[in-house]
Amino acid sequence: MSVNIYSPSVNGSILYAQDQSGSDADTAPAEPKIDPADKMYGEAHMKLARRNFKLGNVDRAREELDLVIERISTHAEARFMRAVVAAKAKDFLTAWRHISIAEQSAPNHPRIKEFIARLEKAMPRPSVIPDEVAARTAPVHASELLGDALEALFANKKASGGISSLGCTGIEETGGKIVAKLVFEGNTSLDENSIKEALKEALKAEIVDSKPASAGATLEIAVEVPGLPLLNPSAKSVSNLGELLKTASEETDVALKNSSESEPDANQRITGTYTIVAAGLRSVNDFMRKLSADAVDGRIVHLANTTMNEQNVWKGEVSFRFLAP
C-alpha cells in the first residue's frame, strides 16, 4: 500500500508560518546569523516559493527554493518544503537529503518530526546520503567557464582577500588558444601567486602572462580558457531583451541600475552594457549565467567593492552580445 507523504498535514504547511502563540512557536529554533543581504534574498524567494506551492506550481516552487538553498544552505523552511516537493515526486533520497538538513536546524519541530515519520514508511532513512550536486549547469562556452573561475577565485579567501576591483578587458582567440585578459586591483599589494594559482586550479590551465603594477596593487593577468568554444554555439535571437534582463535580475537578486544596447552590427549582434549591484561574486555569476545561455558571449567589464546603504556590495558594468531578432 502506498504511503501518502504529501498528506494534508504536510501539504501547504510552512515551517515558520505558524501562530506565534501556538506550540510551534515555542519549538521553532533561533535563526542562524546570516548576512542581511542574504536574509532579504531568502525572504523574497521564500515568499515566491510559498505562493507557487500554494497555487500548485510545484516546479516553480522548487526553483525558488533552490535559489534560497544556494544562498542559505541551512534554511530550515526551504529544506523542509524542498523535501516535501521531492517526496511528492517520489524522489525519496532527495527528500531525505533535504529533511535531514532541516532536522539539524530545527531538531524538535513537530512538522519535521511528522514528515520524517511518514518518509520512513516510504523509504527507511539511508545510512549514507550522498552529497547534493550543485544546481549550476556545466559551462558550454568560454565566457561561462571564466565566470565560474572568477567565482571560485573569490571563494578562495587567501587569493581574493585584498581584491577591491576586477575586470576583463577581453576574451579572444590567439595562437590557437582562447585567452582572457583580467585586471585586479587592491588597496594594498595583492597576493599575486595565490591569485594565479586559484585561476590555474579553477580553469585547469596555465597563466599566459602576468604584470604587476602600482607596487603590486594592480595585477594584469592573461590566462588560457581551455576546452570550450569562444562563442556560445547555442546562442539564439532574443526578441524581448528587457524581459530577459528583468527575470535574471529578480531571480538572482542583482539590481539592474542602467542599461544600453547598440544597434545590430554586420553579424546581427547587439552589444548590451549593464550597470549592476550585487551582494557578491556568486550573485554576479548567477546573474550572468541567466543571460549567457542565450547570449553570444559576455564578460565583467569592471566591478568594484563599495558600500551602499551600509551594506558591502559589488557595483559595476557587465557586457553581453546577443543575436538580434
* Cα–Cα distance, 149 to 314 (Å, whole number): 17
- 115 — pLDDT class (breaks 50, 70, 90): very high
Residue 77 above 60 pLDDT?
yes
Residues 69 and 155 in one domain: no
Q: In the prediction, which pLDDT does 244 show?
A: 94
pLDDT tens, position by position, 118-140: 999 988 988 877 666 555 688 99
Residues 228 and 280 in one domain: yes
Q: Which residues contact residue 274 at a Cβ distance below 8 angstroms, ignoring those fewer than 6 apart? A: 245, 256, 258, 259, 260, 317, 318, 319, 320
Residue ranges making up the domain that contains 191:
142-323
Residues 289 and 164 in one domain: yes
- 14 — pLDDT class (breaks 50, 70, 90): very low
Question: pTM score, two decimals?
Answer: 0.64
* Cα–Cα distance, 230 to 236 (Å, whole number): 16
Q: Greater confidence, 39 or 7?
A: 39
Three-state SS for 186? strand
- The CATH number of the domain holding residue 55 is 1.25.40.10
Residues 204 and 55 in one domain: no
pLDDT tens, position by position, 258-276: 899 999 999 999 999 999 9
Mean pLDDT of 203-229: 95
Domain count for the chain, please give it. Answer: 2
Residues 211 and 103 in one domain: no
Q: In the prediction, which pLDDT does 3 show?
A: 39
% of the chain at pLDDT higher than 90: 63
310 in a domain, yes or no?
yes
Residues 88 and 159 in one domain: no
Q: Which residues contact residue 29 at a Cβ distance below 8 angstroms, ignoring those fewer than 6 apart? A: 76, 105, 106, 107, 108, 109
